Amino acid sequence: MLIVDLNKENYEYDVQALVRAFYPEEQVYVLTPETRADRRRELAGQARLQVTVGESAARLVLDGAEYCFAPQAAGAEPETSARGFKDEFKRFLYRVLKEATKRELPWGNLTGIRPTKIAYGMLEQGMSEEEILEFYRAEHYVSREKAELSVRIAKRERELLSKVHYQGGYSMYIGIPFCPTTCLYCSFPSFPIAVYRKRVETYLDCLIREMEFTARLMEGKILDSVYIGGGTPTTLEPEQLDRLLEKLKTLFDFSTVQEFTVEAGRADSITEEKLKVLYAHGVGRISVNPQTMKQETLDIIGRKASVEQVERAFGLARQAGFDNINMDLILGLPGELEEDVQNTIDRVAELGPDSLTVHSLAIKRASRLNQWIQENGAAMLHNTDETMAIAAEGARRMGMEPYYLYRQKNMSGNFENVGYAREGCQGLYNVLIIEEMQDIVALGAGSISKRVSRRTAEDGSESTLIERCENVKEVGQYIERIEEMIQRKQRLFKEM
């Protein structure tokens, strides 16, 4: 365990994210003033990194070596805001960790999950590509390759979002929180369908009540996209899917919907009858997600569908008429090396999906993967520039271009998640949820609604305010408190 003793809790996220990125095989624990006193006494003496942040200076002690930081003393322009000083501090911390480890990070000192927002905003301001690339390099130490990827994707996002109704429009997410089993790496709200099967009908009753309220709440507004995710929506029986989709199409005007996605996901939940129901109700985009095409890995991570089942499910989807099928892959899964990723890409290419979402494994606190790492070691999680390049080249070979990108905390290799697609098969909702430029009304257990407000100050500058409300995660609580979930939405969107 690598222990960090930090004197300011509002720096904790950035410090922990950067230290974890530079020391991927260590479990990083950050002590702050809010850490329990007994825990501080126990661990403070073991801290390898001490971070002391003042108003205009900082001091680090790493493995006995001392580093001091004072922008004004170093000849820099005085920083007048706390935000400006914090940015300077992150650059300083990055330089210290780079010197100590003799490593560089592909995303530099960026710790946020939306690195393309920088490029998107600068393009909107009319800045040139070279100006944007230089900003990524000088301000954040981002590699040329990742900066160019960000600009390329931001340009594509602008094209995709040009038809979206920011004012007077919205998108909708519907969550089905049931799965055949819970995967090793998963931290999403998901519940084993075998245990909850008797409550599914009641859950759908409550979901439909939320839909009915939302239809009244958003009356007169344009619905741009609908995404049904989970969990695994196809854990529902064909009759339950039909009931849900029939009600959805009755309540909402789908004449304006540009994209209707159902994340079928797990091949062991996909049947010909369910696919026919989805297609009959006008679902245009689905996902069949293998994560890997190596059977041994599937067994380790708890995905019960075999490679052969994945291939069969994909074939059934094509036979049902779907011409926009996405497949999700995860790089950095336990024990997988470059040759395993290459094999997965080759087998996926034989199927010929229309889009590919390539995830870098994220180690979530709430997942069983944390326990697995303690038993087997972080070295078993292998994600490299080479594995990322294999996936990117495979997507290019399938005629796909990158169109959206996001990052998560504690990602294997400090890389990113990238969506690739053939022209016309990009996932609009994926871009909307990442760039946070439109209201998202989210229904179901564990879902999060977002309200996006744009404000213009007296000086003409514009800012964006994003407000959220969450539905409770546990299915039983969602059912019991459905009226409260509805009231939360009413409060969030009350001024609309």
470 within some domain: no
The answer to whether position 110 is within a domain reads yes
Contacts of 220 (CB under 8 A, 6+ apart): none
Domain identity same for 146 and 195: no
CB 51 within 8 A of CB 86: no
The pLDDT, as a whole number, for residue 455 is: 78
One domain, residues 339 and 405: yes
CA gap 57, 351 in Å, rounded = 56
Looking at the structure, tell me whether residues 402 and 369 fall in a common domain: yes
Predicted local distance difference test score (pLDDT) of residue 115:
92
Question: What is the per-residue pLDDT for 212?
Answer: 98
Angle formed at CA 304 by CA 206 and CA 377, multiple of 5 degrees = 105
Residue 370 has what pLDDT? 62
What CATH number does residue 335 fall under?
Answer: 3.80.30.20
Which residues span the domain enclosing 120?
Answer: 104-152
Which of 40-54, 202-216, 364-378, 468-482 is least confident?
364-378
User: CB within 8 A of 54, min separation 6: which ones?
Assistant: none
The verdict on residue 485 lying in a domain is no
Higher pLDDT, 180 or 131: 131
Are residues 273 and 319 part of one domain? yes
Q: Which of 27-36, 214-223, 389-398 has the lowest mean pLDDT?
A: 27-36
pLDDT(78) > 60: no
Residues 168 and 317 reside in one and the same domain: yes
Together in a domain, 356 and 215: yes
- pLDDT above 90 for 291: yes
Is residue 21 included in any domain, yes or no? yes
Q: Is the pLDDT of residue 334 over 50?
A: yes
Q: Do both 254 and 143 map to the same domain?
A: no
Task: With cut-offs at 50, 70 and 90, classify the pLDDT of residue 74.
Answer: very low
405-446: pLDDT as tens digits: 999 877 766 789 999 999 999 999 999 998 888 999 999 999
Q: Which of 229, 228, 224, 248 is nearest to 170 (CA)?
A: 224
Q: Give pLDDT, residue 80.
A: 43
Q: Is residue 448 part of a domain?
A: no
- Grade residue 496 by pLDDT with cuts at 50, 70 and 90: low
Q: Let me know if 405 is exposed, middle or buried by CB neighbors in 10 A (0-12, 13-18, 19+).
A: buried
**237 in any annotated domain:** yes
Which pLDDT score is estimated for 305? 83
CA geometry: angle at 173 spanning 168 and 179, to 5°? 180
Tens-digit pLDDT profile for residues 13-52: 999 999 989 998 788 899 999 998 999 889 988 999 999 9
Mind listing the pLDDT tens digit for each residue in 229-241?
A: 988 999 999 999 9
Please compute the mean of the pLDDT values over residues 302-311 and round it to a whole number. 89
Q: Which of 416, 440, 464 is the last residue of a domain?
A: 440
pLDDT recorded at residue 83: 72
Is 137 part of a structural domain of the chain? yes
Shared domain for 136 and 38, answered yes or no, is no
What pLDDT does 44 receive?
85
CATH of residue 77's domain is: 3.40.50
Quick one: 39 and 111 in the same domain? no
pLDDT of residue 70: 86
Cα separation of 227 and 302, whole Å?
25
Task: Say what the pTM is.
Answer: 0.89
Domain boundary at 419, 440, 461, which? 440
170 and 134, same structural domain?
Answer: no
Say which range, 166-180, 260-274, 296-310, has the weakest mean pLDDT.
296-310
Number of domains in the chain: 3
Tell whether 124 and 11 lie within a shared domain: no
pLDDT, average across residues 451-475: 86
Residue 480 lies in a domain: no
Q: How far is CA 257 from the centre of its chain?
A: 23
Tell whether 92 and 125 lie within a shared domain: no
Average pLDDT value for residue range 196-225: 96
Pair 236, 289: CB distance under 8 Å: no
Model confidence band, residue 362 (pLDDT cutoffs 50, 70, 90): confident
Confidence of residue 222 (pLDDT cuts 50, 70, 90): very high
